[in-house]
């Protein structure tokens, strides 16, 4: 992870204990104004019905906690891709409060009931495991199983990582933090090391709970994530 990412992680540790119960938000079928359009007035072109499907499968950081229907990760990512000339539908499959165990249980259902075979899955779970102090070995095993399922189905993945808050202690961090880079290497998967890099600890980019990004914070996440998604998306351009 970049040095800036570790600085963000340390700040994250100072506020993570304030985390409150989470609530799910909606999906991202309609495009929104480009994240690159700081004026915010441009109207995005319609996404073709046969455009590749990207499933954003995660927890509250994916679900759009306390954000409007066009402000979460899925709609903002869809708009950013469109602004780059990449037409894709980004489906919000985030469920607030999900652990890796819960995600593992529902992954096959989401994939089996998708409107089309996903061209790419964004996988972002583990933060709630860390908050609850769940054994890192369980987190690793659940993520490993999900990545194995996606590989079996021939679906490329972008894995978005999490880091252990310092208040979890060095022993927990030594077990938890290597999970994402090691699994990304095992499955030859694209990795965004820390989903809240350059966002957490900046009040202007966070909700009042100091844990979840606001709409502007999501823009920062998407700005870092979109190029990785574009490079991982088969035949994106």
Which residues are catalytically annotated? 60, 209, 212
Exposed/middle/buried for residue 20 (C-beta within 10 Å: 0-12, 13-18, 19+):
exposed
- For the record, the structure tokens of 174 come out as 């030594």
Taking the C-alpha atoms of residue 36 and residue 84, their distance in angstroms, rounded to an integer, is 9
């Amino acid at each position: 992870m970049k040095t800036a990412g570790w600085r963000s992680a340390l700040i994250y540790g100072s506020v993570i204990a304030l985390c409150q119960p989470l609530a799910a938000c909606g999906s991202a079928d309609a495009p929104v104004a480009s994240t690159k359009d700081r004026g915010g007035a441009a109207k995005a072109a319609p996404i073709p019905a046969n455009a590749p499907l990207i499933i954003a499968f995660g927890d509250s950081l994916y679900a759009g906690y306390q954000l409007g229907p066009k402000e979460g990760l899925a709609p903002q990512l869809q708009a950013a891709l469109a602004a780059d000339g990449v037409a894709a539908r980004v489906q919000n499959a985030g469920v607030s409060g999900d652990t890796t165990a819960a995600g593992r249980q529902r992954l096959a259902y989401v994939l089996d009931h998708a409107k089309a075979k996903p061209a790419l899955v964004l996988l972002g779970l583990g933060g709630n495991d860390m908050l609850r102090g769940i054994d890192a070995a369980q987190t690793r095993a659940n993520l490993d199983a999900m990545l194995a399922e996606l590989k079996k189905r021939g679906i490329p993945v972008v894995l978005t990582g999490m880091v252990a808050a310092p208040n979890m202690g060095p022993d927990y961090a030594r077990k938890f933090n290597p999970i994402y880079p090691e699994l990304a290497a095992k499955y030859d998967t694209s990795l965004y090391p820390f989903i809240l890099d350059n966002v957490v600890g900046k009040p202007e980019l966070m909700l009042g709970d100091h844990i979840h990004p606001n709409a502007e914070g999501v823009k920062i996440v998407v700005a870092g994530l979109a190029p990785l998604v574009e490079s991982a998306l088969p035949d994106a351009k």
